[in-house]
Amino acid sequence: MLFFPNAKINIGLNIVSKREDGYHNLETIFYPIGWKDVLEIIPSSTPGFKCTGITVEGGENLCEKALKLLKADYDIPDVFIHLHKNIPTGSGLGGGSSDAAFTLMGLNQQFNLGISNEELKGYALRLGADCPFFIDNVPSFASGVGEELIPVNIDLKGHHLVVVKADVFVSTSEAFSGVTPKPSDFSLVDEIQKPLSDWRLKNDFEDSIFEHHPKLLAIKNTLTEAGAIYTSMSGSGSSIYGLFSSKPPLSFNDEAVFYQQL
């Protein structure tokens, strides 16, 4: 069976406090977008995993880890998993997390395991903090480390989305090292009910990351100059997106670019 794991963007991202376990509490809006990988799960007497498309670092893939999690609790036949990557890695778009979540959902569907969405979210959380989001895959306010999810109403219909993935790598440790956690001054959920032009939403990672990676700031400025109503970095980078009222006449030479009319 074929499945199509999709990416997400972060609309606003506040790092509100550091936890005793060393992680950080955050607040953000996860919004699903149409940039997708292709995931194929095939019953096979020669089980294995293959990844094509964009190069992914070595080691066990999250799809393989998802399969192992369910195999420990359910009688699943041997399968061969083929993942074709389109969503750039290290982009702040959640591609790997989506692949893992869709593997869980795909196995559940293909082999009639009868696992509820809430149970799938429990498995997904063991694979990554933002993996549970992709189970329901609807715009959501996320808190905690990203696993506490509340669906939200946000109307972006008719807007045009441009996502630019720069050839820049930002490690998670680098991103968090430049942020001083602090509570937000306003509610993200209330803010997204306003017109885009009135949004005060900001990604807390941007200031320090833009200082060390000026190319990302340059991309954001290009989107703004092209007429974006709202621009932001997604996650901890290194993708920058813009929301426009109409399709912008933009061209980027060296970056991966995704366009979608919402």
Catalytic residue at 65?
no
Alpha carbon distance 24, 17 (integer Å)? 6
Catalytic residue at 8?
yes
Taking CB atoms within 8 Å and a gap of at least 24, the contacts of 247-254 are 247/160, 248/160, 248/162, 248/223, 250/162, 250/222, 250/223, 250/226, 252/164, 252/219, 254/167
Alpha carbon distance 112, 135 (integer Å)? 16
Do 219 and 248 form a contact (C-beta atoms < 8 A)? no
Alpha carbon distance 152, 12 (integer Å)? 14
From the candidates 8, 36, 165, 220, which is the catalytic residue? Answer: 8
From the candidates 36, 37, 99, 130, which is the catalytic residue? Answer: 130
Q: Which helix (H) or strand (E) holds 108?
A: helix 95-110
Tell me, what amino acid is at 260?
Q
Residues with catalytic function: 8, 130
